[in-house]
Amino acid sequence: MDYQFDFHFLTGKADMLLEGLWVTLQLTLYANAMGVVLGFVLCLMAMSKFRMLRWPCQLFIEFFRCTPVLLQIVWFFYCIPILFQVYIDPITMGVLALGLNLTAFNAEAYRAGIQSVPKAHFDACVALGLKSWQQTLYVVLPQSLRTAMPVLLTNGISLMQQSALVAIVAVSDLMYMGKSIAVDAYRPLETYSLIALIYFLMALPISHLVNVFERRQDAAMQR
């Protein structure tokens, strides 16, 4: 291969990359916050004994888990304004689309965590006279969150990667800025390699954190 790498064309492009990186971080952080909170609420509703509450939530989960996230993003950006005459800024719309997708996946992670809570703990709650919201807040949430944490973090990494898909609807995230630089300079190999490295460096610490939680869980189960 006689291709000569040349990164000098990136001189003066740092502002564009930082601007795109900031948008990517906003999408990732806000959508993760949305997914972590709403995922637990959706999980409780999907596990409700009331069918009229349980079935729509289960349908929501299956829809977002069984359709491509790219299709969901495009639908939110183009169909919602047409159907409902609602116009939201691109970053908020991206957070909404990514956050609802993550909510569905996190709901399943929480469900597995809740099912792992020993029945004796629920019996103890009844014996202590705790109300339902007290059981949920003080017993179910802490234990299910601890069990689901590795999956929640992994889902968070996946969401950060999927956030690059908003570039297709012209949201000026890191991927979009990288594409603009690559087109202007006609140096796609160097540009996309740099973008990949940035995503890798952002995801690597979280990946190590997942391993830490998994080791702690394995150690706790062996006691």
Nearest by Cα to 147 from 208, 220, 204, 206 = 220
Q: Do the domain assignments include residue 5?
A: no
DSSP structure class, residue 33: H
- What is the extent of the structural domain holding 25? 15-222
Residue 8 counted as domain residue: no
Cα–Cα distance for residue pair 27/169, rounded to 1 Å: 14
The 10s digit of each residue's pLDDT in 102-148 is 999 999 999 988 888 888 887 788 787 878 878 888 888 888 888 88
pLDDT in tens, 6-49: 777 788 888 999 999 999 999 999 999 999 999 999 999 999 88
Placement of tokens 């952002």 in the chain: 202
The pLDDT value recorded for residue 216 is 77
How many domains are contained in the chain? 1
Question: Which CATH number characterizes residue 192's domain?
Answer: 1.10.3720.10
**Predicted pLDDT at 223:** 59
Whether 1 is covered by a domain: the verdict is no
- Rounded Cα distance between 115 and 134, Å, is 18
Answer yes or no: are the C-beta atoms of 36 and 216 closer than 8 Å. no
Q: If you ran DSSP here, which 8-state letter would residue 122 be given?
A: H
Could you count the other beta carbons within 10 Å of the beta carbon of residue 16? 18
DSSP 8-state assignment for residue 67: S
pLDDT in tens, 39-91: 999 999 999 888 899 999 999 999 999 999 999 999 999 988 888 888 888 99
Measure Cα distances from 180 to 10, 69, 102 in Å. 12, 23, 28
Inside any domain, residue 177: yes
